[in-house]
Structure 1
Amino acid sequence: MLATRKFALASALFVSGGMTHAVSPTVTYEFTESFIGSVSYSLFTSPYRRYDDLTLVPGGSDLPTLLQTATRHSDTPFYAPPSGQTYCYEIGGCVVTGSNAYGSYSARYWVDAYRETMTLPSDNEYSGTFEFTSGTGVFAGISGGGSFTGREWYGAATSDEVVTTTVVGSMTLPVPEPETWGLMAVGLAIVLGMARRRESPSRTT
């Protein structure tokens, strides 16, 4: 009986040790996503704020469906800069979020170039970089980043604005570790086998 208990305990430690020391593997997705939407502004106090509300263009992502960004939002504090200066003035970057029915993520982004046409109708261009910072659901454990480019079209009034953004980058996500699941299955089978053996009636000789 004592030997059986020691063996069961060793099996349990084998399982827990495998879970503790196993390193979770990751998978990296290279992707391009295109969005279209509108922008609103808060121009009453400095710094001004810009709010982008974008949705994925139909067929605009080459990611698996579960990882496609359905909506994308950003909140950008800024000063109205001359051409070539940074649009997002925050040293630590500005916040952009993305989400779908299966999860959401946050990222920091920096606008490196912004070409502004002062006359209406206007056609403005911008570009920059971003880094993922956190995620939930299918995006839990996300890391990576990339770059983006965008264009803005204004009609006779800012309410006529249309914005398009194309994001190119990579996202790295944790995936289940096959070896860990294997260790758990083997260890559990051993423990269950010991339990069944202990529960089975002893034979009379």
Structure 2
Amino acid sequence: MDHQSHFFFAIRIPEQTKLVMREHMEKIKERTPFSRWVHYQDLHITLAFLGSSSPDKLIEADKNVKAVLIDETAFTLKINKLGFFGSGNSPRVFWADTEENNHLQTIRKKVFSACAKAGFQLETRPFRPHITLARKWIGQQSFQTELLDLWEEFQPAPLSFIAGEVVLYQTHLNKTPKYEAIKIYPLTSTET
């Protein structure tokens, strides 16, 4: 049976940054038992999760997102720490955080609104930008919050990168890596 594809808009993490993240993830993995680790090629920052979609709604979202991003510029993001969602004893999602960035918030609002305008029912929780690294704690003991300090151990200064593309991804659950870039929306190269 074929799984239904899901779609989402995200900030693409540049290749060089993904390679650094892969090195850190390998070291962190040795000390943090999670059930599923994200393939380094699938690292991203979700802006709007669409779920499954009809072609018509995707075409409308593509048109709307293209229009709202036309004058947006690339900007710098800095990965600076680790965090988690879920119970402090047994987190369900383990992620890398970025320093607060107003430009990221603006881009997210524009993409989110463009998708809502196309008819998508989107998640209403407050936006918490993050890069998912792993899911589902499977440790014999409770998760220790000191594990969040591992990032600073491996990356003493924030890991900076240029967020230069918003991407529409399609999920392929039976592949690794599982996210395929369907459309790319380049942000202009100078930050204002």
TM-score for both structures, normalised by structure 2: 0.24
Flag the structure with more relative contact order, 1 or 2, with Cα contacts below 8 A and sequence separation at least 6.
2
Which has a greater percent of helix? Answer: 2
TM-score for both structures, normalised by structure 1: 0.23
Q: Which has the larger radius of gyration?
A: 1
Which has a greater percent of strand? Answer: 1
